[in-house]
């Protein structure tokens, strides 16, 4: 199953709206074939593995991290292919949360005489498909909050200088994270101050840039901002309230940027409504990359599912130097947001801390 999970991760960031899935055919204790789902519309992991196995699949075991589909979508049902191949046992990580599938694939296989075991490395199998599970069950995207800060909790100096807090290895990892999500999101103030591209660099063959989303602030941003580059070719969204002027809207749309008008909440874009709208248009995962006010609002509205924090061995200091989470924060310590399933790893001189909310 660990091999199936590692295979599944190869499709991360490319399979939306489908989950990431890996499959391994094992016979007499030996791996005879393996496969993973590469992209929506292409063959599923089970089909690829079974095709590679050929006649060796008869009487063999099939390991899959997610319940095989039993409905007709863009591709035929995997359960029928499993039966036709002669597989005798299927070992699964988790049931498919999709109501079109959940439990039906398992029942179909058992009815046809195939032994099915469910729950192997269950939590590991859930974790690699967290975005899919949330999206398919709620219609809303999985929200990751990513930030980099100094040892004393500062994301920039008092003058706004923030390049670079972390080292090259941490920054390279941040680019890989972008390749795994459907969209990245920042506030307009971050665009004004940092002028980020929010693209994947270096861009490898087959890797697409995520949808780039800018949430409007109190001041307009330039149509020449780097985040708007290639908007005619790659999806870029500007989320604003109805206060956006017609001339500004026309200018932004003129460079290929999609404009979403979202109801306001306390003179700003209602972030919760925006997330719901993003879910409606097929965005299943969003990584918030700043700034501190957007991050603070995301926590206040209980929108954050996962945090990825990069901690650099540097001291910035100063009461006017911003931290990663803006807004008022909590009043009582007992109101803290608990981070679960936390992991810590080293990237060069920096630490990356990951946890679920």
CB atoms within 10 A of CB 243: 11
Is the torsion defined by CA of 252, 258, 264, 265 positive or negative? negative
- At 236-282, the pLDDT tens digits run 999 999 988 899 899 999 999 999 999 998 889 999 999 999 999 99
Whether the bond between 78 and the residue before it is cis, its omega within 30 degrees of 0, is no
**pLDDT value at position 218?**
77
Residue 46 designated active-site: yes
Give me the domains of the chain, ranges plus CATH numbers: 2-131 (3.40.140.10), 139-356 (3.40.430.10)
Strands 142-150 and 115-118, by their bridges, are unpaired
- Report residue 221 as tokens: 């941003």
CA distance 272 to 263: 10
Contacts of 89 (CB under 8 A, 6+ apart): 61, 62, 114, 115, 116, 117
3-state secondary structure string, 191-251? HHHHCCCCCCCCCCCCCCCCEEEEECCCCCCCCCCHHHCCCCCCCEEEEECCCCCHHHHHH
Q: What is the pLDDT of residue 96?
A: 93
Residues in the chain where the model's pLDDT stays below 50 = none
The pLDDT, as a whole number, for residue 86 is 97
Residue from 12, 46, 301, 341 carrying the catalytic annotation: 46
């Amino acid at each position: 199953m660990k091999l199936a999970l590692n295979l599944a991760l190869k499709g991360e960031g490319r399979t939306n709206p489908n989950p990431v899935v890996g499959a391994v055919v094992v016979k007499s204790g030996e791996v005879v074939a393996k496969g993973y789902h590469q992209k929506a519309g292409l063959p599923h992991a089970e089909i690829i593995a079974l095709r590679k196995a050929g006649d060796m699949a008869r009487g063999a075991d099939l390991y899959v991290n997610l319940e095989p589909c039993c409905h007709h979508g863009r591709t035929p049902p995997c359960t029928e292919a499993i039966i036709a191949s002669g597989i005798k046992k299927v070992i699964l990580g988790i049931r498919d949360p999709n109501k079109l599938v959940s439990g039906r694939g398992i029942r179909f296989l058992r009815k046809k005489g195939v032994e099915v075991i469910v729950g192997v490395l269950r939590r590991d199998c859930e974790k690699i498909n967290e975005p899919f599970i949330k999206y398919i069950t709620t219609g809303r995207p999985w929200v990751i909050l990513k930030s980099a800060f100094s040892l004393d909790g500062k994301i920039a100096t008092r003058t706004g200088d923030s390049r670079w807090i972390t080292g090259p290895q941490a920054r390279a990892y941040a680019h890989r994270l972008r390749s795994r999500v459907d969209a990245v999101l920042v506030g307009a103030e971050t665009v004004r101050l940092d002028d980020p591209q929010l693209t994947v660099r270096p861009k490898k063959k087959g890797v697409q840039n995520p949808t780039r989303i800018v949430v409007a602030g109190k001041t307009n941003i330039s149509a020449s901002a780097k985040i708007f580059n290639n908007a005619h070719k790659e999806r870029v969204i500007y989320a604003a309230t109805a206060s956006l002027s017609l001339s500004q809207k026309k200018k932004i749309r003129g460079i290929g940027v999609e404009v979403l008008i979202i109801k306001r909440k306390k003179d700003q874009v209602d972030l919760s409504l925006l997330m719901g709208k993003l879910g409606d248009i097929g965005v299943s995962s969003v990584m918030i990359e700043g700034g501190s006010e957007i991050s603070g609002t995301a926590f206040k509205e209980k929108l954050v599912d996962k945090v990825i924090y990069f901690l650099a061995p540097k001291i910035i200091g100063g009461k006017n130097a911003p931290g990663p989470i803006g807004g008022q924060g909590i009043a009582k310590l007992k109101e803290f947001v608990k981070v679960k399933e936390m992991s810590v790893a080293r990237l060069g001189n920096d630490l990356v801390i990951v946890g679920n909310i």
